[in-house]
Amino acid sequence: DSMTILLYLLLIAAHTMLPVTRMVSYILTTTLTGSQLIMSVGSFLYESSSYNQLIAELVFLLSANATGFYYRHMTEAAHQQTFVGTKTCIESRIKLECEKEQQEQLLLSVIPAYIAAEVKRSIMLKMADACHDVTNKQTISRFHEMYVQRHNNVSILYADIVNFTPLSEQLSASDLVKTLNEL
């Protein structure tokens, strides 16, 4: 009858469309199904309806609940998987940013900032060229670019100074430079 079809749709909607927890939806749909079955048994007893009609209605409503339970379970599993995937993506991005910052700090601790900026710029240009010229073979160069600047009044001394390590531990950086200049 039309009441059973309406209840079938209501049960499916309660499982799939209402923004309630799984437990609330189970309680609500079980209550609706139980109420309808009690009313059907009452009408069966008073009107002498067919026993097959009662069984068919029971199977129909149980199938609505089973369909709703299954749909809700699968939807929640998909949402959980999406959440975990998004969480993993965000964690990876944060980790990448931290590692990028560490790489930057390491680079700046080894070479001056202006050279680091020039090296990065050069790498970015090479990457951009490589992306645009995918079909062209890269030319092999024998020499790498040199990132050198000329400085006046600067000397580089290559020497082996006896007991330099203990001396460097005892003196501050500026005192060590003064001592080396005096030599």
- 38-90 pLDDT, tens digit each: 988 888 778 766 788 888 889 999 999 999 999 999 999 999 999 999 999 99
Q: Phi/psi of residue 33, each to 5°?
A: -65, -45
Burial 104-127 (b: 16+ CB within 10 A, else e): eeeeeeeeeeeeeeeeeeeeeeee
**Measured distance CA(78)–CA(85) in Å, rounded:** 10
Q: Taking 60 as the threshold, does the pLDDT of residue 24 lie above it?
A: yes
Q: Phi/psi of residue 112, each to 5°?
A: -65, 155
**Measured distance CA(146)–CA(122) in Å, rounded:** 11
Query: pTM above 0.85?
Result: no
